[in-house]
Structure 1
């Protein structure tokens, strides 16, 4: 009886059914002297048959870590905080310049070329995934 109850609890757990994204091409821009903010880019692929909603991000490297987007309004670029970003089943969402990105605000330290930082994505089903992001200084990247 105890094994049956334990099996039912495990099967009912949201962790047992959570869809996970495949994240690649991760990089975080080194911040320029005097800047306390930077941004991170990635490619988020959903190989599952379930839609995935990213509802947030966390990093120990900054006081605040947020999902953002850039959009154009005529010749003005507007940055907007996004409450969530959907990655539909079988789809890929690219986070990059002039689109979605992860904003790191009030950095705890200077981001230096060649380092790595961890960013954790949070999903609407209560799960999360941590990923390593390579710090890249565009002036030093070859």
Structure 2
């Protein structure tokens, strides 16, 4: 019985580890505003694996709080809603960009300047995390085309 439990744990660990190994992040940028105004995190997350993954949050030592949001525009009114989690199907790509999904990073814990690197850990529902490095950029450089 003990051997069966160990084997089961090893299989689960390999599946969980594989899930984050199959994820690719690109175009990771931080929209930096002056003072202590909130920053926004943008990136493209691709799931190259054979199983869906569920993004459930993020954290960063550079900010006291990191939340997932979705911006939308309906009938000329802009709004922003918090997002609890997002599923990325196998083979799919999810883009965090201005005017859509984004990370809202609140209360800087240190001074940041353009070009600085900010570490963010993306957290997944299976308990895994994926470190991502965002590069601080001007808001005008991050507008949708």
TM-score, normalising length from structure 2?
A: 0.85
Say whether the 8 Å CA contact 1:55–1:122 is kept in structure 2.
Answer: yes
Q: Distance in 1 between matches of 2:140 and 2:93?
A: 28
User: In the alignment, is residue 52 of structure 1 matched against residue 31 of structure 2?
Assistant: no
Say whether the 8 Å CA contact 2:33–2:139 is kept in structure 1.
Answer: no
Please list every run of at least 4 consecutive aligned residues from structure 1 whose deviation after the TM superposition is greater than 3 angstroms: 2-9, 138-141
User: Which residue number in structure 1 is paired with residue 116 of structure 2?
Assistant: 115
Q: Distance in 1 between matches of 2:38 and 2:62?
A: 10
Q: Distance in 1 between matches of 2:141 and 2:52?
A: 38
Q: Which runs of 5+ in 2 are unaligned?
A: none
User: Which residue number in structure 1 is paired with residue 14 of structure 2?
Assistant: 16
Residue 9 of structure 2: SS of its match in structure 1?
helix
1:35-69 deviation per Cα after TM superposition (whole angstroms, max 9, x unaligned): 33110100010111111110000001111101111
CA separation of 1:74/1:111 partners in 2, compared to 1, >3 Å: closer, same or farther?
farther
Q: Distance in 1 between matches of 2:8 and 2:141?
A: 54
Say whether the 8 Å CA contact 1:31–1:111 is kept in structure 2.
Answer: no
* Alpha-carbon distance, 1:4 to partner: 7.8
Aligned length: 138
Tell me the C-alpha RMSD between the 2 structures: 2.2
1:21-46 deviation per Cα after TM superposition (whole angstroms, max 9, x unaligned): 2111000012223x331101000101
TM-score, normalising length from structure 1?
A: 0.86
User: In the alignment, is residue 28 of structure 1 matched against residue 30 of structure 2?
Assistant: yes
1:54-87 deviation per Cα after TM superposition (whole angstroms, max 9, x unaligned): 0000001111101111011211111111000111
